[in-house]
Every structure is written in C-alpha cells, then in structure tokens.
Amino acid sequence: MKPIFLTLIGIVLSLWTAIGQRTGAEKPLVFLCPPCGLDCDTIHFKEPGICPTCGMKLFASFPEFENIQGEHFETTAKKVAVVLFPGVEIIDFTGPWEVFGAAGMEVFSVTAHDSIVHTGMGMKLKPDYTFSNAPMPDIILVPGGNVDPSDTAVVNWIKRTSTAAEHTMSVCTGAFFLAAGGLLDSLKATTNYQAVQALKGMSPTTEVFDNARFVDNGRIITAGGLSAGIDAAFHLVSQYIGRAQTQKLANDLEYGWSEDDPFIRANIADKHVQDFLNAFIPFEYKMTEYTGDKNKWLVTVRLKSSLNQADLLRLLDYQLERVAGWKKSDKSGLWAFEEDGKKWFGELNHSQIGLGELTISLHVALY
C-alpha cells in the first residue's frame, strides 16, 4: 500500500503545481545586483536595469534568496607568499598577484627585513611579513629583477619553505634564486630570454629552455621574463579551479590567456637583431622601423655619431662577425648565419642624411 500512497501524493502535488501555473500563481521575481559589498546588496528591485548605487547590471532572482555569492568553484583559498627584495621587477610579481588574488587566494609579501623595499622602477613597498614571522604559504612566488643569488637570507628561506609548500614559482631571473638553492637541479626550467645562457652556466644539471613561456615540473614552475609570469600564474590557478573557470577568470581580467598558442619571446625573429642594436649603445639613435614576425625582422635606426661612416660600418662588421658569429658574403651588406639547422640571411643598408647623421637598417629572414 505504501508505494501506491506515495504515488498518489506525487500525482496530487503535480496537479497542484499545474493548477497554480494555469491560474497565474507563479513565484514572484525580483532583480538583484551582483554582490558588491555596498548597501544595494540588500535591495530587491522590481525591474531589470542598472543598479543606481554600484552601476552593475541587475539579474533576475526570487525574493527568498539574499544577494550573496554562491559557490561556483571559481575560487580557492590558498596562501601565496611573494618574495620581495631591493630592485625587484614590478610586473614579475604584480601581474601574478592580480591573478592569484582574483582566484580567491590570500596573497602577501615577505622580505628579509622589515623595511621599505625599493623596486626596480622606484615603487616603494612596505612588506607584510619578514622571513621570521611569515605564515606558511601554499605557493611561493619568486620574481626577478636585481637578483643576487649570493643573498643567503633569500635563498635559504625559499629553499627551506619550498619543502612544505605545494608549489614554488619563479618569474624571469627569479629562477637564479631557485638555482642557488639547488631547487632546479636535474629539472627543466626557463627564465628571461637574455639570461638563458647565464642560468645554464649556474645550474649545469638543469635543462634550460629558451622557447617556453613557462616550464612546469610539478612542484617547481619557472616562467620566462616579465609578462610570462601572468601566464604561469593562470596555469597554476587552473590546477586548482580547472581550465574552464580559469579561462573565464582570464577573460574577466581582460587578458588573452592561451596555453595552446602562447607568445614565446625566443620565437620572434627580432632576437637576431639584438647584437646589431647593442653596437649602438654608446651612441645617440632613434629607431624608425621595428617590425616582423617569426621568420623575418626589419630594424632601422637614425644615428648620430662623431665617427665617420667608414669607421662606423667597420664597427658593425666587427660586431656581426665576432659577437653575433655571422659570416659575410661576397656581396656588400649581405650576411649569413644558422640557428638550430635553419639558415638565415642578413642584409645591411645605410645612407648618409647629414653631417654626422645617417640611417642604418638590418633585415634578417629565413632562406
């Protein structure tokens, strides 16, 4: 009898709901603004539109639901310690800080001494903690900048704390702090493109990549230079909240996050014109062209120098041959070089535009 009784109850409830729908006895609707922490969080609006207090677009709901943030599995309550030191690069830690914070993580700064830290571009920061009183983090973020691998206070804290942390992540030359503590031994890693060779020399058992946005070894993650730390932070966040939620987070932060086709500095052909530009460091010049892609690059400079044209061109020949390792062809202004089995050519052009002033351009391209 019991199953029949329950079946009858179900039929009655269904009929009651259907009658209510036909007679217009639907539950009333209201409109709320997304939770913002202001007084408007408690207001039930009668019509859709824009909240007059916080300016957010209202959404439909029912009166019995208070305007609170539901659990969408979009955040994770992890603790992130950001290591600061004199000359730290701003974007190396502020970019990832924003990503971690937006994912719901508790982010704080930690330094060796309780004093104002001057960043590489003059920003002054008061650290939250010192190495002696910082909470145990789940994640350690080690930015780059004016890195001193001989700073044992920084190196030892990172080494000691990383043993209990879930992840240790470096950005740019922050990898040198990890290398100094032996954390990169026999692992794969990356760093700022310009510092790749130096890291190879410092940590000979580490396989250092110059063509990766970041390298994930599991507990140890290293990112390339500067903005690469943002991509590494999104990657790490995705391990906690999933890729779908992380993609939405990236879109909300208006960042073009893509692990499928990331920007990789070493893949851009302008790396082949850096030795050319370095020869002009002592001189006054302005770039008028700087454009290309993975397979070609063109740079043109307008240069002022007390050197005569012949001496300046001889200097460039010496730079390209002895420093860059290029080979000059029989034709004037043409050079050739190889990288990873690929053949490239370089074409150097110049023209006098005034007394002590000329334009010089270098075009490099794959054969």
Q: Do 258 and 127 share a structural domain?
A: yes
Residue 66 lies in a domain: no
Bridging pattern class, strands 357-366 and 296-304 = antiparallel
CA dist., res. 285 & res. 283, Å (int): 6
Q: What is the DSSP track for 203-223? A: -TTSEEESS-SEEE-SSEEEE
Instruction: Give the three-class secondary structure for 130.
Output: strand
Q: DSSP letters of 155-183?
A: HHHHHHHHTTSSEEEEEGGGHHHHHHTTT
CA distance readout (Å), 54 to 34, 37, 41, 59, 334: 9, 9, 9, 14, 63
Say whether both 142 and 203 belong to one domain: yes
Distance CA 241, CA 219 (A): 17
The reported pLDDT for the residue numbered 183 is 98
- Both 53 and 104 in one domain: the answer is no
The domain boundary, picked from 13, 35, 61, lies at: 61
Q: Do residues 300 and 213 both lie within one domain? A: no
Give the pLDDT of residue 356.
82
Residues 26 and 171 in one domain: no
Residue 274 is predicted with a pLDDT of 93
> Among residues 289, 218, 220, 294, which one has the least CA distance to residue 263?
294
Cα(126)–Cα(177) distance, integer angstroms:
22
| pLDDT confidence of residue 307 | 87
Q: What pLDDT does 162 receive?
A: 97
In a domain, 351, yes or no: yes
**What pLDDT was estimated at residue 63?**
84
Co-location of 238 and 298 in the same domain: no
Model pLDDT, residue 318: 94
| Cβ neighbours around 93 below 10 Å, total | 26
Query: Residue 108 pairs with which residues in a beta bridge?
Result: 81
State the total domains in the chain. Answer: 3
- Cα 354 from chain centroid (whole Å): 44
Residue 280 lies in a domain: yes
pLDDT of residue 71: 56
Interatomic CA distance for residues 19 and 107, integer angstroms: 54
Q: Which amino acid is at 353?
A: I
Name 283's Cβ contacts closer than 8 Å, sequence gap at least 6: 303, 304, 305
Please state the φ and ψ torsions of residue 327, each to the nearest 5 degrees: -115, 130
Say if residue 225 is in the same domain as residue 210: yes
Instruction: State the residue range of the domain holding 330.
Output: 268-366
- Are 45 and 111 in a shared domain? no
CATH number of the domain at 253, please.
3.40.50.880
Do 35 and 57 lie in a common domain? yes
317 and 231 in a common domain: no
Distance CA 318, CA 307 (A): 15
Digit-by-digit pLDDT tens for the chain (367 residues) are 455 554 545 554 455 454 445 445 688 899 998 888 888 888 999 999 999 999 989 999 888 876 666 555 566 889 999 999 999 999 999 999 999 999 999 999 999 999 999 999 999 999 999 999 999 999 999 999 999 999 999 999 999 999 999 999 999 999 999 999 999 999 999 999 999 999 999 999 999 999 899 999 999 999 999 999 999 999 999 999 999 899 999 999 999 998 887 888 888 999 999 999 999 999 999 999 999 999 999 999 999 988 888 899 999 999 999 999 999 988 788 999 999 899 999 999 999 888 888 999 999 999 9
Q: What is the pLDDT of residue 24?
A: 54
332 is a domain residue: yes
Q: What angle do CA 315, 321, 322 make, to 5 degrees?
A: 85
Task: From 212, 234, 266, give the residue that closes a domain.
Answer: 266
